[in-house]
Each structure stands twice: as C-alpha cells, then as structure tokens.
A and B are shown apart, each in its own frame.
Chain A
Amino acid sequence: MGEYFKELFGGTKSLVVGLGITIKHMVKPVVTLQYPHESLKMSARFRGHIELLGDEETGASKCVVCGMCQRACPSGCIALAGEKPEGAKKKVLTSYVLDFTKCSLCGQCVESCKFGAITFSKEYNLAGPRKEAYIFDLKKRLEERSG
C-alpha cells in the first residue's frame, strides 16, 4: 500500500515538475533566427563551393593550369583547360568549370592548390529548379566579379 501511494505521488510530482520546465521555457525569449528575413554570416573557414581567386593587380586568375585540383577531387567535378600564349612563360587558364552537383565540399582541391588560386565561397543559399544551374563556369564568375 505504501508503495502504491509512493508511486502515485512520485509520479504526479514528476509530471508537475515537467510542466514547470516547459512553462519556464515558454516565457523565455525565442532562440531561432527568422531565416529568410535574417541570415547568419558564415564563419571565416566555412567551406562553400569553390571560387577562383584573381590577382590583386590585374584581376586575372592566379591559376597556372597544373591540374592538381582536378586530380585531388574525389568526385571529378572540376574540368579545366589552359593554353600557353606565344612568348608567355606560364600557362593561362581558358576555362574552369565546376560541376557542383557532384561536389561533396570536402575542400581537397583548395588544399592541393599551391598557388592560392581557388578559395571557398561563403554561399549557402543555393537552390534552383534545374541541374544545369549548378554547373558553374568559375572563370566567367571571376571575370564578372573583377569587373
């Protein structure tokens, strides 16, 4: 009999304590961010999709078309091509295409690049109706950015 009442009162108490906790949280301010209206700034190391980096003076890509990033990529999302103009010492990038549909954002391409030619973008609001929208021509994007 004692056990019975102990169980009854103990159980009821635990239920009341639970109600107390939820009401306590109810009167506290909300912790969520109203996403489409506000959004967070990504941290400095955030790994978005990659982006080509331009030379600070000329704005041209720093890429020397060594192809290390292409080889490092586990998913084969990078396709790049370059040519050696007459009289130049280094190769010049002619196209750099990222197939973001396959990218797993591992960052091995950026790590493999010894020339600092690629970096992570901070973009994360990516959505679109077509697959083709995610085949990025990074060279064109660089040119658009630099002006």
Chain B
Amino acid sequence: MSDLARSQNQETFVLNLGPQHPATHGVLRVKLTMDGEYIVEAEPVLGYIHRMHEKMGENRTWAQFMPNTARLDYLGALSYNHGYVKVVEQAMGIEVPERAEYIRVITVELNRIASHLLWFGAFVLDLGGFTPLLYAFDDREHILDLLESVTGARLTFCYFRFGGLYNDIDDDFVTGSRAFIKRLRKRMPDYHNLVTKNIILITRLKDIGILPGEMCRKYGATGPVLRGSGVDYDVRKNEPYSVYPELDFDVPVYSECDSMARYMVRMDEMEQSMRIIEQALDKLPAGPIMPEKVPKILKPEPGDYYSAVEAPRGTFGIRVVSDGTNKAYRLKLRSPTFSNLSLFGEASQGMLLADALALMGSLDLVIPEIDR
C-alpha cells in the first residue's frame, strides 16, 4: 500500500475494471480499491465466461473432448491439443511415429509465435500504441494461413489425434514455413526499433511491475512470467517431451523481474521458436503420421495420469483419472494464466493504475483459459 493511501484515513473508492473494459481483453473483472490513482487493493473476479470444460470432459468420450482443448486458450490451441493427446497416449500406451512428433513440434512452435505476436500487439495496445498491433497481425496472418492449409482451421485447430495427426503436411507447408521465418527475421528489427528501444516504452516497463521469483513460486506462476523473474523453468527443457531433446534451443531467462523482462522473454522466445522450427524442418523424417494400430474405442486402464506441456503462457498440465470406461472419470486442467493472474492482486498493491494495467498486459491473460 502506498504511504499516501495509509496516511489519508482510507479515503478510497472502488473502481470496477471490467467485465467489459478495453484493457482486460475479455470478460475479466478486477475490483480495484483506489486511492486516487493508486491501487490499494485489487481483487480479480472470475467466472464470467465459465463453460465447465472439466465437467464436459466427464461427459464426453476421449475423442469427443478434443475440440474443447482448442477452446481453452484459443491463441495457443495446438499446445493444449498436444497436452491432451499426450496424456491420453500415456494412459493408453500409444507410440507416436517420429514424423508425427516432428510435425507436432513445428506446428506448436508456429502457434507459439502466433500467440506471442498477438500478445505483442495487444500489449503495446494496452500501453497506447496502436500501430504495432497491426504489424503483428500482418505477420500472424501468414502463420494462420500456413496452419489453415494443414489443419483446416484458423484458430480453433483440432489437429492432433491420439497417436498422431489429423493429416500430413505437404511441401508447400515446408517451403511456406521457411519463407515465413525468413520474413519474420526481417521484421523483428523493425519491432525492436519501433517498440523495444522506444524510450516511452522503456520508461513504462523498466522497473515497473516487479514480480520477485519468490512471489511467482508462491502463486505457481509459470511460463514467460516465471522466466522473466529469473527462474529458469521450461517444461520443454525440464521435463522433456516429444522431440524437444533432439532440438537445440535456449530458454530465455531475465532476472530483472519487471514488465520489461517479461516482454523481452517473449520477444526472445519467438526467435528461439524460429530456431526450433528450422531445425525440425531440416530433420523432418519420412514415415507414417499415425501408428499402425490405434484402438477404435479408447478405454484406458483405470488409473491416474498427468502430463504437462509448455504452452505459450506457461505450463499447461492436464490430469485425468480413468475408471476404464470410454469417458474420463475426472479431468482436471491446470491452466497457466489462472496462476499467473492470481498474483496480480498482491503485485499491484500500491501501483498506479496505468502501471498496473501494464503489468496485467505483461502477464498475457487469455480469459477463457482462466475460467475454463
């Protein structure tokens, strides 16, 4: 709490930020107790877009739940697809062909770039700069075109299948991806010159919105938020899955803990994703994209299964309990933004409204994924 707020006999007022507000990018409501422009207390109020995805998982067959995973975090749908097929494959003991794994990595990383590009635009929009958003969308559109040509959808991809993929990629996709990486590499300096090095942006982000590593741990924050606080944790490295161990990439970590660090982590991650895609395209083996035998009706052995992937916003964990039938007995989704948001209340205390919104933007919230 600011000294100002303490000294003035709690002359505060309540400001409802949302559920309809330009800065929350969805139906999130934050109840702010304000002292002038200073935030005394912030309380996120959730549930405006709750759709009971976990309950749906108990009422649908394993395969029927697939489309739901794309609707949690609609910006990083493929990572969520990946998490779900991974846990079911683990439960069923299905081996995934290597080609399918490589294609999964390529598409997931493309999706990660698309998600970060949108975040980049939306974040700068939160800070009042409109133009970078449209430049980022211009690039993102190319990724969506690429992904549409293989998955058939532009946003709610439902591309992975238990054991493999919905369909194979073609040469057009490979050349298209390479061309896109070349294009984005050319555009990145523009982004850095226009936004990253801009003095106004630097003064708004540097040393603002400090999230100490300890606080991130306490609330279970993951992903770029955690890595911007100096904790080197990435599921792709720490609990390697798919073919990530065979690819050479770095995990960007910044220890400044401020909004700028989180910004830089995401910008660097885009570069790393490009590296991953390039290597995966080079190493792409020939072969089938589905295993020879996948049971028609899935009935995993009764048991408790957990699996996690690194989604664009952090660790997406999924835990299923099977009772041996064709539906899950219990399905629990651990979505990264939920944890990332929960630290907002503590972190924003005593901050100016404008800085708190910059902090909120740097958390990269996707509301449907918080509420599920």
Contact = CB atoms under 8 A, between A and B. Distances in A.
Contact of B152 (A31, A47, A72, A73): A47
A106 B199 contact: no
Interface string B174-201: 0000000000000000100110011110
A10 B190 CA distance: 17
B151 A45 contact: yes
Interface string A1-16: 0000000001110110
B89 to A, nearest CB: 18
A108 B68 CA distance: 13
Sort chain B's interface into a size bin.
Answer: 20 to 34
Contacts of B202: 14
Contact of A74 (B60, B138, B150, B200): B60
A104 B71 CA distance: 10
Interface string B320-341: 0000000000000000000000
A126 interface: no
Sort chain A's interface into a size bin.
Answer: 20 to 34
Contact of A31 (B138, B156, B166): B138
Nearest to A71: B61
B153 interface: yes
Nearest to A112: B63
B158 interface: yes
B64 A15 contact: no
Nearest to A73: B64
A22 B194 contact: yes
Contacts of A44: 149
Contacts, number: 67
A25 B130 CA distance: 14
B66 A106 contact: yes
B67 A106 contact: yes
A12 B199 CA distance: 8
Given A72-B63, A111-B166, A105 B198 contact: no
A23 to B, nearest CB: 11
Contacts of B10: none
Contact of A107 (B68, B145, B148, B158): B158
A127 interface: no
Contacts of A34: none
A17 B197 contact: yes
Given A45-B150, A45-B152, A46-B148, A18 B194 contact: yes
Interface of B: 60, 63-68, 71, 131, 135, 138, 145, 148-153, 156, 158, 166-167, 190, 193-194, 197-200, 202
Interface of A: 10-12, 14-15, 17-18, 21-22, 25, 31, 43-47, 72-74, 104-108, 111, 120
